[in-house]
Amino acid sequence: MKTEKDKQPLRARRRLLLQALGGGALVGGLALTGSANAKAALSGSTRPRQADSDVLDVAIIGAGLSGLTSARDLQRAGCESFVVLEARERVGGRTYNHELGNGVVSEAGGQWIGPGQTAIADLARQLEVGTFDQYYQGKTVYLAGDARYAEASASGGASVSHDIARKLNEMARSVPGEAPWTAPNAAELDNITLGEWLNQQGVTTEDKIGLNMSTTLTFGAPPASLSLLHYLSIINTSDCSLEQLEGIKDGAQETRFVGGSQILCTKMAEHLGGKLKLSCPVREIVGWDQDVVELHTDQGIIRARQIIAALNPALCNQIRFTPALPSGRAGLQDRWPAHAPMRKTVHVYARPFWRDQGMNGQVVQTQGPIIWSYDNSPPDGSVGIISAFIKPGQLSHNPAEAERVLSDLYARALGEEARHPTQFHDHDWGKVDPWSLTCIHPIPPGFWTQWGEFLRPAAGRLIWSGTETADIWPGAMDGAVRSGHRAAFQALQALTENRRTTG
Ligand SMILES: Cc1cc2nc3c(=O)[nH]c(=O)nc-3n(C[C@H](O)[C@H](O)[C@H](O)COP(=O)(O)OP(=O)(O)OC[C@H]3O[C@@H](n4cnc5c(N)ncnc54)[C@H](O)[C@@H]3O)c2cc1C
């Protein structure tokens, strides 16, 4: 028997769907909850046709923040015909909690958010995940050879001279974060490294050390390897403020999630049930230029009308495409800079003893394995945790040896108690598995102006997502959430459009 909904002319139902999508999908994703019209329109329009009963509307590749945000938006919009295919046996991608016992975690991957990162902050509120401030009060210790020096900084992070920051902030205004290659002087800015530009400015040795550390942490490479154009584009997305990008207080390292950042992903995954397939890497995508696309996975073939690839371009490059992708996109994937996997260690102590002596747990080493350590204790300080970013190739992968070398350095910097951690963890993203490849994209000179235009445009039924494709905060967790919202919207729009053209 036909329902009232079925009797509505097809054209009117499509109009309802488009109105619902257009009206709700701006900031914060597809805000369609409670929109009965939208849900009715979607459930009617997305019902598989009989001949295509095994064909899904959408297949999402990747269960990181981006892919799971898309899945959540599809569900909230009333679309139930989708699947999320994840290569690992866990969700979260580049967010990953080390469980330390008694509910305490330490984040091995992405962990901080800050001002302007509203998409991820909204998501956390909706999922009822609390936040707390990164501990930074007190002195940072600098180790240079045998010398030790301690100093407090107002914002808690690396500081750069006001003059240099002001110049960079000013230049960043004309470099759009979402498309640096369209900047008026893109060719000129993409022809020079940040390091060369800094040399031209005659920066001080302290500034060089500070910038070397901050770009290695935030951009995955030292100034000598980074395109000035890329550097400025990321400052642009940070409200044209280097201080906001690199700072702790009022900066992008200001806020942490209670329970660790991966909890956002595990919470989103809870609602997916059988729509989430773990240990299911996609190996080949066949017919991306056809109405129905085949995904060849380790668990068989999945067929879908729209594909969201919620992966960085280097990961996409591990998938075989049949037919071959257009040359621009293929070239971008093939050359995507994926040499910044990052390594983080964790020392757990009975309590954050360094705080008693007016230190913030931050250690910067000019030569040696530590790039930067910081206080990663839980909000109540019930145990003390020092996490550190480690320079590639400068610390043994033997756990006992790595723990001892770092404990000795912490003892020099923070006091003798540092010699006796209760736990040690080591996570080298370049070694654990092939499903991240890089934590961030250290874009070299010449890359954006040659390949940038191929980053986002869809290829047939393939929608490119993942933090790298975000308009704001690309590379960050906030960018991942934004790209997930955009991709879900794009998929729903494409489904509607395809149904309109095929009747
Ligand atoms: C050490 C480190 C520190 C960081 N610090 C911060 C920080 O403090 N703040 C911040 O905002 N960001 C930080 N980031 C970056 C942040 O974690 C990422 O931007 C964000 O998590 C990316 O989410 P995503 O969904 O776009 O990609 P990913 O998390 O990479 O998700 C992609 C998913 O796809 C899966 N996959 C890959 N290939 C396939 C395949 N063929 N088939 C199926 N599945 C596949 C992967 O397993 C993964 O789960 C950090 C990252 C690292 C590694």
Choose among 65, 62, 108: nearest CA to 83: 62
CA 139, chain centre distance (Å): 30
Task: Inform me whether the pLDDT recorded for 257 exceeds 80.
Answer: yes
Domain 97-138+340-432 has CATH 3.30.70.360: no
Task: Inform me whether the pLDDT recorded for 13 exceeds 60.
Answer: no
Task: Inform me whether the pLDDT recorded for 490 exceeds 70.
Answer: yes
Q: What is the pLDDT of residue 19?
A: 38
Which of ligand 1's atoms lies nearest the C-alpha of 475?
19
| Residue at 196: amino acid letter | E
| Residue at 88: amino acid letter | R
Categorize the per-residue pLDDT at 182 as very low, low, confident or very high, splitting at 50, 70 and 90: very high
CA 133 – ligand 1 centroid, Å: 23
Task: Inform me whether the pLDDT recorded for 18 exceeds 80.
Answer: no
Which of ligand 1's atoms lies nearest the C-alpha of 92?
49
C-alpha span between 97 and 104 (Å, rounded): 9
Over its C-alpha atoms, the chain yields an Rg (Å, rounded) of 24
| pTM reported for the whole predicted model | 0.91
β-strand partners of 450: none
Which range, of 17-21, 88-92, 128-132, 138-142, averages the lowest pLDDT? 17-21
Q: What is the pLDDT of residue 150?
A: 95
Choose among 46, 41, 50, 32: nearest CA to 79: 46
Q: What is the pLDDT of residue 374?
A: 97
List pLDDT tens digits, range 273-319.
Answer: 999 999 999 999 999 999 999 999 999 999 999 999 999 999 999 99
Helices (H), 173-271: 186-189, 194-201, 205-218, 228-237, 242-246, 262-270
The average confidence (pLDDT) of the chain is 89
CB neighbours of 456 closer than 8 A, spacing ≥ 6? Answer: 464, 469
Q: What residues does ligand 1 touch, defined as CB less than 6 Å away?
A: 61-67, 85-88, 93-95, 109-113, 281-282, 310-312, 315, 318-319, 342, 344, 429, 435-436, 439, 466-467, 475-478, 480
Categorize the per-residue pLDDT at 53 as very low, low, confident or very high, splitting at 50, 70 and 90: confident
C-alpha span between 137 and 362 (Å, rounded): 10
C-alpha span between 452 and 436 (Å, rounded): 21
List pLDDT tens digits, range 359-388.
Answer: 999 999 988 999 999 999 999 999 999 999
Task: Inform me whether the pLDDT recorded for 439 exceeds 50.
Answer: yes
C-alpha span between 304 and 323 (Å, rounded): 17
Task: Inform me whether the pLDDT recorded for 52 exceeds 80.
Answer: no
Task: Inform me whether the pLDDT recorded for 37 exceeds 60.
Answer: no
Mapped onto helix, strand or coil, the DSSP state of residue 160 is: coil
Average pLDDT over residues 236-263: 96
CA 403 – ligand 1 centroid, Å: 26
